Amino acid sequence: MSVMEPILNVEDLQVEFDIIPKNAWPWTRPLKLKAVNHISFELNAGETLGIVGESGCGKSTLARAIMGMVVSQQGKIVWLGEDLRTLPAKDLRDRRKSLQMVFQDPLASLTPRSTVGDIIAEPLKTHFPKMPANERKEKVKTMMVKVGLHPDQINRYPHEFSGGQCQRIGIARALVLEPKLIICDEPVSALDVSIQAQVINLLMRLQKEMGLSLIFIAHDLSVVKHISNRVMVLYLGNVMEIASSDELYTQPRHPYTQALISAVPIPDPEVEASKEHLLIEADLPSPINPPSGCVFRTRCPKAQAQCAEQMPELRNIQGTHRVACHFAKG
């Protein structure tokens, strides 16, 4: 690996939500829900980091916390040498130029009463208010061509497009400022499989053309494998494992990752039937009251007494492969 300065460095990030129980007195202390629990990672320029995990494991919260849309309680989000958490709101808005986001629901993320042209032009209007209108329109049209939309559709409205097209509009809006990083929060979960492939290939192509970094959140492991250089596995707000994509899929070390990967269906009925499935018992524990020690121990097939007492550190076991399990061997 080259000695490159990472463009994004998240250190010990923690996000808590206050949960006010039903029928509580006004003076009772709200319960704390730890959505993101001491997460650290870094991201290099041009790299794609996949984030996977079950529903409710804090993937989206992590993304929103990096964008500053959710208040984080502790830690650092160092973006190009500046800690975004300590920046005043005005500067934070300005930094958004280089840090954009693509959302899960393609149609819901577009303002229903604006035309596509206005939607894609909004970042330009916000950050370059003095740009002449025709130049802005030109930029929007080029961007539409780039993401595979017809520039003649500039005057149409979001409800006149299909889901895949809407997601292309969302991507165009994120890219029009030529950012350095795009956070994709489950960008393909709402699309059907053939469209998923189109959108992912589009993202990969644009990444190459524009030298983007991506944070790609999904719960579909095969999608993440296709696009990511490195993958981070989250469980209940904690990092279970980070490794390069190849290594994680061929040699998962954490029992949770192993179970996740064995659950990925293989599109061949014979192989699928003969494959060994590692089933995980029980449901996700409540994040308000997480298990002591290792958060995964209640469902872990390898759990021992040690797991309930001591939280496993996220430790390097081989190169950049990091695992949070007492029993993972290098």
Q: Which stretch binds other proteins (CB under 8 A): 2-10, 93-101, 242-250, 271-279?
A: 93-101
Tokens for 305, please give them: 């007494």
Kindly state the smallest distance separating residue 178's Cβ from other proteins, in Å.
Answer: 14
61, 109, 167, 257: which one binds other proteins (CB under 8 A): 109
Instruction: Tell me how many degrees the CA angle 321-98-70 measures, rounded to the nearest 5.
Output: 70
Count the alpha carbons within 13 Å of 14 in the hemisphere toward its beta carbon: 10
Q: Which long-range contacts (CB under 8 A, 24 or more apart) does 71-75 make?
A: 71/15, 72/13, 72/14, 72/15, 72/36, 73/14, 73/15, 73/16, 74/12, 74/13, 74/14, 75/10, 75/11, 75/12, 75/13, 75/14, 75/38, 75/39, 75/40
Kindly state the smallest distance separating residue 300's Cβ from other proteins, in Å.
Answer: 35
Q: Which stretch binds other proteins (CB under 8 A): 148-156, 214-222, 254-262, 318-326?
A: 148-156
96, 230, 254, 299: which one binds other proteins (CB under 8 A): 96
Does 108 participate in binding other proteins (rule CB under 8 A)?
yes
Does 69 participate in binding other proteins (rule CB under 8 A)?
yes
Count of chain residues binding other proteins (CB under 8 A): 36
What contacts 309, CB < 8 A, 6 or more positions away?
292, 293
Does 110 participate in binding other proteins (rule CB under 8 A)?
yes
Q: Which stretch binds other proteins (CB under 8 A): 41-49, 109-117, 198-206, 312-320?
A: 109-117
Instruction: Tell me how many degrees the CA angle 209-247-184 measures, rounded to the nearest 5.
Output: 40
Binding mask 151-180 for other proteins (x = CB under 8 A): -xx-xxx-xx---------x--x-------
13, 36, 51, 101: which one binds other proteins (CB under 8 A): 101
Q: Longest Cα pair distance anywhere in the chain, in angstroms?
A: 68
Does 105 participate in binding other proteins (rule CB under 8 A)?
yes
Strand order through the sheet with 74-79: 31-43, 8-19, 74-79, 82-83
The residues of the shown chain that bind other proteins, judged by CB under 8 A, are 64, 67, 69, 92-97, 100-101, 103-105, 108-116, 122-123, 126-127, 152-153, 155-157, 159-160, 170, 173
